[in-house]
Structure 1
Amino acid sequence: MGEKLGQNKNFITLMTAQAISSLGDWLSIVAIITLVGLKWEATPLQMSLIILSLALPMALLGPVSGAVADRMERKTLMIVSDVVRGLLILLLTLAANVWMVYACLFTIGIFSSVFIPAKNGKLKELVKDEHIKGAMSLTSMIDSSTKVLGPLVSGILVTAIGTYNVFYIDSATFFLSAVLILFLPKTMNEGMTRKSNGKQGPSFKEEMMEGLSFIRQSSYLMYGLFLLGVSLLILQLSDSQIIILLRQLTNVSPDLFGYAVTCSGLGMLFTGIFLSKKTNYNAFLYMCLGVLGIGLGFGMMALLTNYDLAHSIIWVPGLALVAGLSAGLVFIPFQAATQEKTPVHMTGRVFGVINSTTTTATIIGPLAGGALATVIGIIPSFLVTSSLLIILFFISILFKNRVEQEDPHVTESQPGTQGAASR
């Protein structure tokens, strides 16, 4: 019997570091919005640029950051990323205007774009292939949990101790994460091995393009990434407009939006728990069912709002829970299968491309959703979103057999890469 995932101390250390820094991310976002939106009375455009400043580097630099994560030692990259982000959060306490906030957030986004593929690559180094699906489910559970707890804790802390003290706490979470990562083993990746042997490898540009080439070789990764990106883009058309939809209801509770967001996060958390107990499932089928579930959830929410159904305090969070459960079925199986199919020396580049694709969708989606809702109305825009997701489900089912006909050489694990760590 091999070592179980719960007995893998290095994996537990990595997940603990991720949980601490992810919670800190949500602490700072709520604190920044409070500072800029309430104290500085920023305009709607300035508020939009806050999220854009953080997301744009991750959308633009994903393939570049992934190549860096594969070329350099991942443990060192993660530590440097955490330390720099911790210092930048401290710098926010000295910000005198919104442009300083933009600059800090843009730089934080650059180092976050490096951290994410480095973390996924490190996870592949530390976890055996048979445990990858469980590991990715646990990673998603952490993200979902911090999404639920982070804004709640941040709101309490901002009220109790003030915005700037929350920045100090957030900075400390990054430093603590860096300390935990110090205890992880180092691993000689392919780029470092070539350098130590004096061999000339491919150029940085060539390495960056290898991530795209690897994805194109795999029918699953290619269509799975397409399905993930398109469904996320369609989802964001309406997800960013939910609070506008809820305003159409009579006697709506002021806390209803908060309940919906919380239930959505809980839904993804429950899916993560469910999938962490399963090691053998059809990832692509789960993705298709997830797309269908999101589409049905959004469609029902629009229809019930149109008829102004009573007891919205029950059915809105309930449908948000369904959407969260379904979203988990889209994201978690794809990332788990990608980890399985990608050799350890390629994980940075592959996940860099994936991160760039998903971040781009989250940037374009809300902008397009706002324009769509303005032109045709909020309820029709939700029905359009629902219809597009349901159509995408049927198209995906039609291509299911073709997608699952995988070339064997694409999914081969790279020999001698996992378990080769040293302190």
Structure 2
Amino acid sequence: MTNKENMSIYKNLTMLSTAKFLSGFAGYVYDVGIVIYLYNMTESVAVIGGFFVSQFLPAFVMLMLGEMIDRYNKKRLMIISGFIKAVICLVLLNNRSVWSIYLTTFLMNLILEFEHSTSSALMVDVFSKEEIFKMASVMNVVDSASLIMGPICASFLAAKFDIGINLVINILLYIISAVIYGFIQMNCMQDIKCTEEKDIKIYRKKGIWRTYIKIFQKERILSTVIFWNIFMLCIGIALPLEITMIEDTLKMSSAWYGIGNMVEGLGMMVASAFILGKIKKLKPENIISLGLFTAALSYLMIGISPNIWMYFIGAGLVGMTSTFCPLGFKTEIQVESSPEIVGRTFTTARFTILISRTVGSLIVGGLLNIFSIRIVYYGLTGILMVSAIIFGVRLRDSAT
């Protein structure tokens, strides 16, 4: 690899990392700030659950956008989406009712889900498949930093200022991140582009839905998506429980919710550093297996926590699994997917996992009517531990 190619790789990594950090920071400031704002205004778990459901509903639209991601310049799509997010925040700045927040959150997360799939597909255009795992690991460190800084900033702003300050910060950061995406260099090889154009025409002749069916004909992709769905179902159940666990069970102020998110960010950073240190010895499937075990342990620790400090240990483990599992799942799909339909592969995968996450958030209220919050956490521990064991057995069998 020449010095010029190395410079191009590091420039792209720097631009992508910076844009993702600013956008991620703004996203965490929004999420944490809005959750605290809603809880202080309504003191209702159902309202908080509605907030999380409004985050996941875009899954039903995202499935239709996969072909757009594959067809158009992914860098331009990221730039446009950044400016749209800024406009949405500007609208919310002038209308802050509960239903306005739900609608805004739906639109914001429609864009964010589009960005998730587009940025994952963009990495395939920017880096070689041999580089993707390493580059994704570096970006996880960036995500960790934004998760550490965003929630603590949101908690401080919620305690000192009106929610409007959060929204102004979001507007500025989304605009800056959109501009940064413009400096990324696309490095697709010409022969790959020609192959992609040819294959895309073939797929269009076969029909859109046949293309989506073809995505899951690969056993490794299908298996990855199944375990990703199990993981996200548990995440969907756990997310609305966090602030309730802190306020009602541990009897702490809602401000600790933001600090708990910061601890999750520290866990993400520890996990990212571990992966970077072991990058040559690890494969995506190893990371998935480790992530499922860590997820089970994290909810066990939260479930048995008698105080906020034990809760923070569990939150740190949640942060670690938030690095291990998504990184493993996404990288496995990036490596196994055909380049010409990688956008549709990601939108299809995210369509299914967001439905699972939505189902989790919809049923959590009913679960709390039957079981105590600690029992729900123990149930999540059992589901994830069984999933980790099954995945580990499959991994061992495939290696023999």
**TM-score range, shorter-chain basis?**
0.7 to 0.9
Deviation at 1:89, TM superposition (A): 1.0
1:99 corresponds to which residue? 99
Paired amino acid for 1:84: I
Deviation at 1:209, TM superposition (A): 4.5
Matched residue of 1:170: which SS?
helix
- Superposed, 1:43-192 pairs within 5 Å as 45-57=46-58, 59-95=59-95, 97-185=97-185
- Superposed, 1:203-352 pairs within 5 Å as 203=204, 206-207=207-208, 209-217=210-218, 219-245=219-245, 257-277=257-277, 278-302=279-303, 304-305=304-305, 308=306, 312-352=307-347
Deviation at 1:132, TM superposition (A): 0.9
1:363 corresponds to which residue? 358
Q: Does the 8 Å contact 2:82/2:174 carry over to 1?
A: yes
Q: Does the 8 Å contact 2:197/2:340 carry over to 1?
A: no
Paired amino acid for 1:55: F
Distance 1:62 1:190 in 2: 29
Aligned residues: 395
Distance 2:290 2:217 in 1: 24
Distance 1:266 1:338 in 2: 26
Q: Does the 8 Å contact 2:302/2:311 carry over to 1?
A: yes
- Superposed, 1:404-415 pairs within 5 Å as none
2:388 equivalent among 393, 397, 400:
393
Compared CA separation, residues 105 and 237, structure 1 to 2 (3 A): closer
Q: Does the 8 Å contact 1:71/1:192 carry over to 2?
A: no
Compared CA separation, residues 5 and 248, structure 1 to 2 (3 A): farther
Q: Deviations over 1:105-138 (max 9, x none)?
A: 3333332232222211111111122221111112
Q: Does the 8 Å contact 2:86/2:171 carry over to 1?
A: yes
1:420 corresponds to which residue? none
Q: Does the 8 Å contact 2:36/2:255 carry over to 1?
A: no
Q: Does the 8 Å contact 2:152/2:258 carry over to 1?
A: no
Paired amino acid for 1:151: P
Q: Does the 8 Å contact 2:21/2:142 carry over to 1?
A: yes
Deviation at 1:87, TM superposition (A): 1.0
Compared CA separation, residues 5 and 151, structure 1 to 2 (3 A): farther
Identity %: 18
1:18 equivalent among 9, 17, 20:
20
Deviation at 1:83, TM superposition (A): 1.2
Q: Deviations over 1:176-207 (max 9, x none)?
A: 1111112223578999969999x955439934
2:373 corresponds to which residue? 378
Paired amino acid for 1:272: S
Q: Deviations over 1:78-107 (max 9, x none)?
A: 111111111111111222644333333333
Q: Does the 8 Å contact 1:83/1:175 carry over to 2?
A: yes
1:419 corresponds to which residue? none
Q: Does the 8 Å contact 1:75/1:181 carry over to 2?
A: yes
Paired amino acid for 1:285: N
Distance 2:152 2:392 in 1: 39
Deviation at 1:391, TM superposition (A): 1.7
Paired amino acid for 1:368: I
Q: Does the 8 Å contact 1:11/1:126 carry over to 2?
A: no
- Consecutive unaligned residues of structure 1, counting only runs of 5 or more, are 406-423
Matched residue of 1:8: which SS?
helix
- Consecutive unaligned residues of structure 2, counting only runs of 5 or more, are none
Matched residue of 1:95: which SS?
coil
Compared CA separation, residues 235 and 404, structure 1 to 2 (3 A): farther
Mean Cα displacement is larger for which, 92-101 or 269-278? Answer: 92-101
Deviation at 1:76, TM superposition (A): 1.6
Compared CA separation, residues 269 and 5, structure 1 to 2 (3 A): farther
Q: Does the 8 Å contact 2:20/2:177 carry over to 1?
A: yes
Q: Does the 8 Å contact 1:293/1:322 carry over to 2?
A: yes
Distance 2:369 2:101 in 1: 30
Q: Deviations over 1:335-381 (max 9, x none)?
A: 22222222433221111122223322322223323322321322222
Paired amino acid for 2:183: F
Distance 2:223 2:247 in 1: 37
Q: TM-score by structure 1 length? A: 0.80
Paired amino acid for 2:87: L
Q: Mark the structure with the bigger radius of gyration.
A: 1
Matched residue of 1:203: which SS?
helix
Matched residue of 1:399: which SS?
helix
Distance 1:291 1:144 in 2: 19
Distance 1:267 1:6 in 2: 31
